[in-house]
Structures are given as C-alpha cells and as structure tokens.
Chain A
C-alpha cells in the first residue's frame, strides 16, 4: 500500500517591538535577569489593564499581507482562558474568530501552493524554570517574556513531505527578516515551530482520524528529522494494522527521533470571548493599502529580480535573497561595471574574502580589485603582518593552540584583508611557525 503524509504547521514569531504587547516593558527578554522586565500589567496584578501596542498590530497585519492574506477590516482581541502558572492572568489575550489575517498562501519553488489559514496576534507567556533551591525541587517563573507580542501563523495541512515544509519554514523566516519585524531566531525562541503530522492511504480524501503534534523543536534541521521520523513511525504502525496515538511529542537530539510528551491530549475548552478591556479595531481600505505599499521587497520578488536582472542561478539568488546584509552588499557592488554580477555573487557566496562579510559593496569591490593585483609573496612583509595580528588576537591564538582550525582560518582572513591579494599558503606557513 502506498501512503500519503498530511502535514501542517503552526509557526510562532516573537515580534521585535521596543515594548511588550500590552504594557511599556521592554520586549527584548533574551538573557535578561529574571523578572527584571515586569510591571502590574504583565504580572497580572489586580486592576491592571492591557493597552495594545499599535506597532505590533501594524507588523502583524504587514506579515499577513506579505503572506497574501485577506485582512479583516473589523478585528478584535479575545480571551483564551486556561490555567497555567506561566500565564499570570489565567487567560491569554489572543484572537479567535476575527484574526488580523486569513486565507493567505505561499508558493513553493516547485509551484506548489501552501494555503495559510490565519495570521493572528497574541501575547507570549512567562517561562517556567525547574530548579533545586536549598535541596528542594522547585518551579520558578520568569515573567520577562510574559506579554511579548507573538504572531501565530497557521497553515492548512498542505505539505506532503519534509522538504516542502523545510522550504516553507525557511521562507517564513526570510519574509519575517525582510519585513524586519523579528530576528526569527530558532535558538533564541523568537521563531517556534509546531508540526501536525498524520499519514493516510494515498488518494484518501478524508483526513486521518488522528494527528500527532511535534512541539518545542529549535532548529530547521531537527524539525525536518522529526517529521521524517514521525512519517516512518506512522507508516510502520499503520502497516501493522494500528492507528498511531493522538499525542504531543518532542524531538530528542540524542535519540535522533521523537518521544511522547503528553498522550491523549485532553480536550481543552478555552472559553473564548471578546476581550472587554480592549475596544474592537476597524481598518480602512486606505490604511491597509498604505501598509501594502510600505512592504519592502520580499524574498520571492528579490529572487526573481536577481535572476532576471543579473542572470544569477536560482540557487545563488536564493542564498543572496535570504540574507539582508549580503543582498545589500550585492546590490551596491553590482553598480560597479568592472565586475560581473556572477563574479560578485560567487565571491560573496563562497566567502572568498574571509570569514566575515565585508561592510559595504565598496569593500567587496576593493577586495575584488586586489585580486587582480599581483600576489604578495614577500615573506618579511607577511611576517610583519602576522606578528601584528598575533598580538592583537590572543583569544584566537589560544584557540589555535587547543587545536581549533577555524581560528586559524579566521586569522588568515584578517591578514588577507590587511594585505589584499596574498599567497595564502605562505601566510599559513608563517602563522603556524609564529604561533606554535
């Protein structure tokens, strides 16, 4: 029997607004002293009231527009009621039946359309830390993250394999970064993924009777692995005549697979109702159009421009389009007619200038010009440069001594930047002589 995967995603993006969603506390919580960025509102103290951050509302709608969503002209916040210690009010302010954006889509490079169900705005929760204090096991709560604006993107279950979802999720990250509304860093938790996975006989039209949720995965690589692991696990179960359990699973790096976290997801009744502390919002067509006009060039558009204007390969165009800084350098550098766009792209993508991106397009051009000069192979000149670098980078020297090759390449890059076109093998030889 052949099988078909039914795969959909929920993506959470923490917005990089200056202040939180409903209060004036700073939204940037990563690595801050616990509970140092709190106030009556985000602590859920008696009498505190939420005041929506208009910037976050604008950014959520712009993300919706970038994902080709319909924007509700009438929208509102709702209360999602549930009890959890990291949720200080006993409810999360979210959006229920009138999300800012709905019915959007993105096309994959294959031309496959992925439908986007909704894009809505909510507040993040606090963070639980399980620790041992004075010999006692305790749970501590850090409310720095409580109330940070969080966008939720929900897709339809349109993916049929993990490479499709991998491309889609990276594209979401690219779009968010192009809009400059979040760093969308998986490791820092400002982009979080949840996959809903099930498998059914190929050609079946009804959705399968179960669904496995995979949560708390903090890299694209791991989510892809987790999805693949799940698909084969489900197929194995189905082929032996069993139906996989409806449950929530997490990814274990050490096991290279998923593990059950909560079986039999209890049916939650969140008792949604309109948030009475925040008046409903209405948006005019001209307001929505204005925001649409303000959207920066999006990755897909940049890619097709790079391909059509500069005849880059689609692979190179994708790399440059996914990195705002690289894209800026590229567009600056191509204005110099001396070098072909392809040569500029090659140098940028293959990092031939060294480990760190040049600051500007001009710097890149300078580097390219230096390549055309005769190579420096004067060992006394190189030795002098090497000594200067060694004394300025004691940390890297220590790394090299402890066997870290990367640090060596880093120093070679620095010397190359100082001297321009230089005989690399000679630099390496002199460096090693001087250090070890």
Chain B
C-alpha cells in the first residue's frame, strides 16, 4: 500500500527526501491538502504560511529538519506570519521578528506550515477558549483535544503536519498530547528559549515538541534546546546527546510510582498507568512505590503564581503601539488579570504570592529528595481521557483540575513526557514520565523503550 506522505514521521520523511523518492514540495503539498480536507472539521490552524511552498522549494534537505513541515503554536512569534495567541487583541499582529525556537527550526531546514489554535493566551486546557473557536479532537470530534497546545496536538494526530511545537506552563504540551495520542515532550524549564514566545507565566513557560514518536521529539528538542543570549533564564548546561542507541537498551532504572498521584486517577486510567508500569518492569526496570507531596497543593501554588505573572505580562497589550485595545480581552483573560492583580496587591503579596513561592520551594525539594532514590517518576499527564466539548465552559478552574498531575513537575521546572499509552472507549490516554532537571536524555530513552514495546503510537484516528 502506498502511504500518504503526510502520515510519515520525520525520520521516515527524511529518508524519502534524501533518497529522492519525493520532494519537499510534494511532502508539504500532501500536508496542505490534508489541512484543506480536514481542518474545517478539526480547526487545528489559526493561520497558514502563505509562502510555505516557495520556502519548501528552496530548503536544504541535508539539514537536520530539511524540508520537514512543522506547525507552530500561535503564541510563538513568526516573522511576517500573523501571530495572535488565539486572542482578538492581536487579531492583526504581524511580528517583526522570529522567536528563537522558530529561528532555530528554520535554520535546521524546517518549513513552517502554519500557526495552530490554542486557548486564548494559553489560558486553559481545552482549546475551546480560543477567540477563533474550538479545536476538536481528531479521535472523536465531540471531544476536546486538550490544551492549551490543542491545535498542535490535533494537527499532529490528524497528520496535517509531521510535527508541531507547543508550549507548556503546566500540562499544556503533555495533556493535549495524551488526549490526542501523540508524543509531547516538555524539556526542563530554561532548556529551550522563551524569546519570542508570548509570555503566559514566565517562570514556568517551556516550549516543547509534539510529534508522532519519541525519536522525532528527541530530534526537535536537539534543534531547539540550548543557551540563548536573548533569554537570561536559559541554562548554559550543555544539551546531552539525545537517544544514544546503546543507552536505550539499558535496564535497571529505578522508576518511582507516586501513590498520591494514582489516587487522583479515574479507575480505568489508573489501570492504563499500572499496565504501563508493568511494561517498564518487563523491560527490566524496577518500579518503586514512592510518596510525594499531594498534587492538590500545587493547584494553589500554580494558580497564584500563574495569575500574578499573567496580570503583569498582559499589561503591555494596551493597544497603543500594536494590536487592539483591552476591550478585546475575553472573559478568561480578564478573570486572570483581576485575580493576579489582587494577589499582588499591597498587603496581600505576603499572603498569596510569597506564600505560594515558599510552597513551591517545598515541592521542588520534595522532588529532589525523591530523585535521590529513583531515576524517573511515573507522572500521568491527565486524570482521564478527553472530556466532551463544552466541559470547560463556566469552569474557571477547568485547566487546573485537568493538569493537577503535571502541575507539581511544571512549577518545579522538571522535564517530562507523554507518550500514547492506550485507549478507554476508543479515546486515547497517555503514559507519562518525569525526570530530574536537565536529564532529558534519560526520559527520552526510557520513553523510547516503552514505545518500542507497544504499538499505541502507530494507531491513527479514522477521519
């Protein structure tokens, strides 16, 4: 059977491009056709790159991502391509510069195919708070794709691109990846530059890849990671070589299974996670039950820190120099600005922000302690599979509740992954692992072992 080019993973496409089986234009054209065919239904994209075909023609296919069509979440600035963060405030905003992630991707030969839908300003975990309308889950369009990088996850799941970029503040890469049955990787905070990413919560925002398999996630991470002179919070820790074949065969990793996290899971999801843990054991690793600070405490910390930073980060959108004025902010953004403004007010700072930061430090120490006993920790990306469209409406804490299991690792800046882990009633579920800061290699290698022993990632939605 002749496979459609858009269904290829990056590594498969690179082989075809290099051997001359097809051109980068043909590959891109296949993805664009797929978008034309399906996006009225899925609505993964906010804007398309009108120059993409020309760019595909002139790209050097020998580069690491030469000729690979990649979709970019709409909160990453793209030079001359409209960037809105799915907010009408920036409805007509055309950036004068590329975010560092996009610049690195372009330098590696990637072709930016378009900009994906998201919760407006990344405020949410459903992608139905976008000012441009919701994205729907390719596995079942009556369900949500998750968010805030829901457009990116849906686009990859529906084969509208070969890979996508998302950003995670707490779960925004891993949760939609789990709900759409794709691979989502959040590197350590500070590993990938935030320069040119429309800031949500500056102290936790982490760009990361959403891909069809672990190998592709490792490849893109290698391209976008590293010290950026334009982002003072990027780390100068050298980026390790990702996916060294010899290390992938290793056994005997100590993998923690936190009992407080299992408690939060719905019963069917718990079974999926326990099955995955068993699989890791079969692969020769040791599963060790551990105890961590209950993830519910992270909700408060995350909510205070994130709303506070949001209230400050959104104040530049005053409509004076660019964009529309403040009346274009939607309900959720206004709610967050008000809550953050209140939390930072004189007399309340110590009660809220300062206290939240103290608890945050305790949670970080708790992880440090745990990682002195185990090499990796199982961290389920979401309490259950995709919820129905409309579930987030009138639920101001929807995101926080959906992301409860990844908030502790996010506020601690830890790297984490979600890989396809199974299905419940034809809806996918993710399996997640987190590791110590700057140990992306260890997570990716273990995730690849899991992927090699399962075939969840090969299953595709019927569209």
Contacts and interface: CB of A to CB of B under 8 A. Distances in A.
A197 B90 CA distance: 46
B195 A83 contact: no
A141 B309 CA distance: 26
A47 B73 CA distance: 13
Contacts of B229: 51
Interface residues of A, number: 28
B312 A90 contact: yes
Interface residues of B, number: 42
A48 B317 CA distance: 13
A51 B341 contact: no
Interface in B186-210: 194-199, 201-203
B395 interface: no
Contacts of A45: 95-97, 322
Interface in A148-188: none
Interface stretch (B27-35, B151-159, B343-351, B444-452): B343-351
B7 interface: no
B91 to A, nearest CB: 13
A44 B199 contact: no
B320 interface: yes
Given A51-B230, A277-B232, A271 B346 contact: yes
B318 interface: yes
B316 interface: yes
Contact of B199 (A47, A83, A88, A279): A47
Contact of B195 (A48, A91, A273): A48
Contact of B312 (A50, A51, A81): A81
Contact of B315 (A40, A47, A91, A277): A91
B233 interface: yes
B312 A269 contact: no
Interface string A252-284: 000000000000000001011100111100000
Interface in A263-310: 269, 271-273, 276-279
A43 B316 CA distance: 10
B231 interface: yes
A273 B232 contact: no
B198 A47 contact: yes
B410 interface: no
B307 to A, nearest CB: 12
B321 A277 contact: no
A26 interface: no
Given A273-B308, A277-B233, A278-B232, A47 B344 contact: no
A269 B346 contact: yes
Contact of B97 (A40, A90, A273, A276): A40
Contacts of B321: 43-44, 88
A132 B354 CA distance: 47
Contacts of A43: 321
Contacts of B199: 47, 277
A46 B232 contact: no
Given A271-B345, A273-B344, A46 B233 contact: no
B353 interface: yes
A85 interface: yes
A332 to B, nearest CB: 43
Nearest to A40: B97
B96 A40 contact: yes
Contacts of A85: 318, 320
Interface string A23-42: 00000000000000000100
A107 B198 CA distance: 49
A36 to B, nearest CB: 15
Contacts of B346: 269, 271
Interface in B316-341: 316-318, 320-322, 341
Nearest to A90: B315
Interface in A75-114: 79, 81, 83, 85, 88-91
Given A88-B321, A269-B345, A273-B344, A46 B315 contact: no
B77 interface: yes
A81 B345 CA distance: 10
A52 interface: yes
A319 interface: no
A49 interface: yes
A90 B318 contact: yes
B371 interface: no
B312 A47 contact: no
B95 A277 contact: no
B193 to A, nearest CB: 8
Contacts of B195: 47-49
Interface in B209-256: 229-233
**Max chain B C-beta neighbours (<10 A), residue from A46, A47, A271, A272:** A46
B120 interface: no
A88 to B, nearest CB: 6
A52 B232 contact: yes
Nearest to B348: A271
B370 to A, nearest CB: 24
Contacts of A44: 316, 321
Nearest to B83: A46
B93 interface: yes
B99 interface: yes
B202 A46 contact: no
Interface in B338-373: 341, 344-346, 349, 353
A89 B315 contact: yes
Contacts of A90: 312, 314-316, 318
Contacts of A81: 311-312, 315, 344
B203 A46 contact: no
**Max chain B C-beta neighbours (<10 A), residue from A51, A85, A141, A276:** A276
B318 to A, nearest CB: 7
Given A49-B195, A90-B315, A91-B315, 9 more contacts: A44-B321, A45-B95, A46-B85, A47-B77, A47-B197, A51-B229, A88-B316, A273-B312, A273-B353
14 contacts: A40-B96, A46-B77, A46-B317, A47-B99, A47-B199, A85-B318, A88-B316, A90-B312, A90-B314, A272-B344, A276-B309, A277-B232, A277-B233, A279-B232
8 shortest interchain CB distances as A-B pairs:
A90-B315, A271-B344, A276-B202, A276-B203, A47-B196, A44-B316, A51-B232, A269-B346
Interface of B: 76-77, 83, 85, 90, 93, 95-97, 99, 194-199, 201-203, 229-233, 308-309, 311-312, 314-318, 320-322, 341, 344-346, 349, 353
